[in-house]
Structure 1
Amino acid sequence: MLDTHARKYVQPLIEKTADLFLNKGLSANQVTYLGFFVGVSTGLLVYFGHPVLAVVILWLSGFLDAVDGTMARKTKPSSWGTLLDITFDRLVEISVILGLAFRFQESMWALLLLSVSIIFAMTVFLTVGALSEKNGVKSFYYQAGLAERTEGFILLSVMILFSKYLTVLTLIFLAIELFTTFQRLFEARKLLKG
C-alpha cells in the first residue's frame, strides 16, 4: 500500500541518489548486489543482538533496492536485473526471519508460518505478474495490496525492536500477509478470467 501510494514523497531522494550513482559509473545491477550484501547482514546483526543497527541496515538495503530500480528505468532495464531484484528481496527477508528464529527459538514456529505465508504470497504475486497482459512502470504487472515491501520492512523492524512480543508480532504480520494474498487472488480472478 505504501509502495503504491507514498512512493511519490521519497522518489525525489531516490532519483537524486540514482543520478549520483549513475554519474559515478555504477550500474543498476551493481547497486542491486550492494543492497543485497547490506541487507543479508541484517539477519546476522539480529542474531548477535544488535537490533537498532539491524533496523538501520535493513532500511538502507530497502533504499538501495528502490534506487537500483530507478537506475534501471533511467538506463536499460533487464530481465536479469528484475530476477536479481526479486530474488535478493526474498533473501534479505529470509535473513531477518532466520536471525530472529535462531535468536528467539521460542518464536520459531510462528516465524516458520510467516515464511510459508511469504512463499504463498510471492507465488500468487509473481504468477499474476507473469500471466497478466497489463504492464506497469516495473517490468511486470505489479499488484498493489495491503502489505507491500515497505509494510513488510515496518513489520520486520517492529519485530526486531520489540522482540519481547515477537510471537504476537509475527502472527500479526502473518495475518496481514494472508489478507494481502487473498486480496490479490480475488483481483487476479477478475483480471485473468476470460
Structure 2
Amino acid sequence: MIDRYLIPPLHKLLDKPAELLVNRAVTANQVTLVGFALGLLAVPLLAAGAFELALIAILLNRLADGLDGAVARRTRTTDAGGFLDIVLDFIFYQAVVVGFILSSPHEHLLAGLFLMLSFVGTGTSFLAFAVQASKRGLNNPHYPNKSMYYMGGLAEGFETFAVFILLCLLPQHFVMIAWLFGTVCWVTTATRIWAGFNTLKADN
C-alpha cells in the first residue's frame, strides 16, 4: 500500500552501498542469490524457535532485495535478473511461513496454510496482470524502474515485511496475525482481480 512512497528514499539510501558493490565487480544476480540463501536460513531457525536469529536472516534478505535492484540500476537492468528476483522473492515469502508452521505444527498449521494460500492469491493476481500489461505496453508510472508492471494493493512488499518482523517479535500471536494478514491479502487479491479485469477489458 505504501511501497510507492518508500521506494524513492530507499533508492537514495542504497545508492552508496550499491556503488561499493559495483566497484568490486559484484553483480545484481549475485546479490539476489546470496540474499535468497540468507533468507532461507530463516526456515530452520524459525522451526527451532530461534525467532531473533530468524529475524536477522529475514532482514538480510530484504536488504539484499533492495541492493540487487540498486546494483542493477548502476549497471544494467535485465529481464533475466528481474525474473530471478521475482521468483526467489515469492519462494522466500512462502518459506518463511513454512518455518513458522514448523515451529509449532499443531497450533500453526491451519492459520499458516491460510496465509500461504493468500500469498498465492496476491502473487498470481500480480503476475497475471503483469503479463497482460506487458503484452499491451501499459505504462507503470509508480514503479518505472521495475522489470514488470506492479499492481498496488493493501498488502504489498512493505506490509509483508512488517508482518514478518511482527511475527518474529510476537511468535505467540502467530495464529491471530496470520488470519488477519491473510484476510488483508485476500482483500488485495479481490481488488487486483477487479481492477485488472476492468483495466484490460477497457484496453481491448
TM-score (normalised: structure 2): 0.90
Aligned to 1:147, the other structure's residue is in SS state coil
Alpha-carbon distance in structure 2 between the residues aligned to 1:79 and 1:116: 27
CA displacement 1:94-137 (0-9 Å, x = unmatched):
22111110111111111111111111211110010110122432
Counterpart amino acid of residue 96 in structure 1: V
Q: Secondary structure at the match of 1:6?
A: helix
Q: Does 1:180 align with 2:188?
A: yes
Q: How does 1:13-162 map to 2 (within 5 A)?
A: 13-105=13-105, 106-132=107-133, 133-135=137-139, 136-162=144-170
Other structure's SS at 1:45 match = helix
Any gaps of 5 or more consecutive residues in structure 2? none
RMSD between aligned residues: 1.3
* Cα-to-partner distance string for 1:136-160 (whole Å, 9 max, x where unaligned): 3211111122111111011122122
The code of the aligned residue for 1:117 comes to S
Give the Å deviation of 1:20: 1.2
The percent identity for this pair of structures is 30
Mark the runs of 5 or more structure 1 residues left unpaired by the alignment. Answer: none
8 Å Cα contact 1:40/1:91 also seen in 2: no
Please tell me the residue identity of whatever aligns with 1:93.
Y
Measure the CA separation in 1 of the matches of 2:100 and 2:163. 13
Output the TM-score relative to the length of structure 1: 0.94
Q: Is the 8 A contact 2:22 2:74 kept in 1?
A: no
